[in-house]
Each structure stands twice: as structure tokens, then as C-alpha cells.
């Protein structure tokens, strides 16, 4: 399948894509975009039931998708997932490390738990999934790894020292891993979204959203589709010479 209603397209027919945090938000948008372009999408989240909408949307577009329950902070759960991937599919072409959480508070008030939970969910999960994926991709001498960072990892954000640290860590991780994998035809890139429409931003209220828009030259919040289009390009064969890069999708905010 190479055409859909989203505009940008790529032929991912026959490829296996794994997207973490695929039950909502950016992960949902990315999974749907990859599935609409021919990839069979392994949709990962802690609760498989919450993935039903993502899987249904991909199938409605004529694509293939499977819900896979996995705690991205649990090494044993991840190992079992990849054993299933190798057994059932024999390959993995695209990995999108999207799963992440926030535990926002000013540093003097931050607890050890609030720090440790963020590191485990956002950064350690990226390491664990990428390590398992590269072992498969190296054998097939092809792969695409896309890590969902954030502009917070580039410029920081008050109340998010833990979150920003993980997103900056993902950028360093991306650049280092790209140098290890390039000769094996595996690209590794990061996407850094800015302010994106979500249930969280809706809860801020119109007045705060209007103030946020003033910080964005494009004068609007981004959408999940804006980010998914960038991921689709990086996941495609057309991006074979793009690796070790951080692409911001922020309406010019950090430009």
C-alpha cells in the first residue's frame, strides 16, 4: 500500500514495524501512519486492550496490525516480546521508541521515585528496545530506528529536569548508536516534537494555549500527523543517507 489520505507516502510493504506507546498520542499517530503505508505494525503498550483503537484504525485503512502487551520498564517482558517477534516474524525493519511519561515538578521537590520512573520509562526503555532490535537488524543488514525525543531535550523546560534529561539522553544515544550501525545499513535518528495537540494540552485551557502559540512562529500547535509524517520519512528507504540526526517538529520554535 503506497497511497493514503495523509499526503506524504512511502512504500513499506512487507516490512515489520514496532511502535512503543502506540495506544495513544504520538505513538498512535505514528503506528497508524506506518500501517497506512504498508508496514505490519506491532503496537506495543502495557495494556493490550488500550491498543484496540490503534489496531482498528490501521485495519480500517487496509493495513495489518497486532496488539502486543509489554511493560517497557520490565526487562523480562521485553525479552519475551522480542522472542515472539523473532519466532512469528523472523525480522524487524522499523523500531520507533515512543513510549514515555512525565513526572513534572521543580527539582527541590522532586522525589527519587519521580526521577527513577522517568529514567526507566523514557531512556532505559529506549536502550533495551534498541539493543534487542539491533541484534535482529544487524543479521538482516537493514533497519530504521527512530527515537522520540523532545524540544525539552534541546532547550530544557522548567519543572522538567527529569524529563528533559531523558530526552537529551536519547539524543546522545541516537548519535552514538548511529555511528555504530551505519556500515550495517541501519539508520538511527531522533524526532524532537514541540508543542503538540493532545489531551494534556487541551486541559490547559484556551488562555494558556493562546500564550503557548505566541512562542511558536507557526502560530499553532502541532498535530500527531505532523510528527508522524517526519517519522514516516525517516522510516522509509528514501532516508537511507540520513542518520544520527535530530529533526525538530516544532513550528519554528527552536529555529
As given in the structure block, the three cell numbers for residue 239 are 532516508
Read off φ and ψ for residue 109, nearest 5 degrees: -100, -5
Alpha-carbon gap, residue 96 to 13, rounded angstroms: 17
Alpha-carbon gap, residue 193 to 93, rounded angstroms: 23
Per DSSP, which regions of the chain are E strands? 16-20, 40-45, 64-69, 94-97, 143-148, 186-193, 246-249
Find all residues with CB under 8 Å of 208, minimum gap 6, and list them.
Answer: none
Annotated catalytic sites, by residue?
163
Amino acid at each position: 500500500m503506497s497511497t493514503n489520505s495523509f499526503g506524504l507516502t512511502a512504500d513499506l510493504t512487507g516490512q515489520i514495524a514496532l511502535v512503543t506507546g502506540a495506544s495513544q498520542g504520538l505513538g498512535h499517530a505514528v503506528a497508524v501512519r506506518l500501517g497506512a503505508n504498508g508496514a505490519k505494525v506491532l503496537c506495543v503498550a502495557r495494556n493490550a486492550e488500550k491498543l484496540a483503537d490503534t489496531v482498528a484504525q490501521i485495519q480500517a485503512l487496509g493495513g495489518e496490525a497486532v496488539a502486543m502487551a509489554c511493560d517497557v520498564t520490565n526487562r523480562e517482558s521485553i525479552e519475551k516480546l522480542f522472542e515472539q517477534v523473532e519466532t512469528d516474524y523472523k525480522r524487524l525493519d522499523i523500531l520507533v521508541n515512543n513510549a514515555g511519561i512525565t513526572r513534572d515538578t521543580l527539582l527541590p521537590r522532586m522525589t527519587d521515585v519521580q526521577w527513577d520512573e522517568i529514567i526507566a520509562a523514557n531512556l532505559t526503555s529506549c536502550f533495551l528496545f534498541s539493543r534487542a532490535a539491533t541484534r535482529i537488524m544487524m543479521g538482516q543488514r537493514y533497519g530504521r530506528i527512530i527515537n522520540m525525543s523532545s524540544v525539552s531535550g534541546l532547550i530544557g523546560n522548567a519543572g522538567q529536569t527529569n524529563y528533559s534529561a531523558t530526552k537529551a539522553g536519547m539524543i546522545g544515544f541516537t548519535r552514538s548508536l548511529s555511528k555504530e550501525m551505519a556500515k550495517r545499513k541501519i539508520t538511527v535518528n531522533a524526532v524532537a516534537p514541540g508543542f503538540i495537540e493532545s489531551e494534556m494540552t487541551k486541559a490547559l485551557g484556551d488562555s494558556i494555549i493562546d500564550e503557548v502559540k505566541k512562542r511558536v512562529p507557526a502560530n499553532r500547535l502541532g498535530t500527531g500527523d505532523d510528527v508522524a509524517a517526519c517519522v514516516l520519512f525517516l522510516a522509509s528507504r528514501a532516508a537511507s543517507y540520513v542518520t544520527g540526526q535530530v529533526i525538530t517538529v516544532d513550528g519554528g520554535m527552536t529555529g
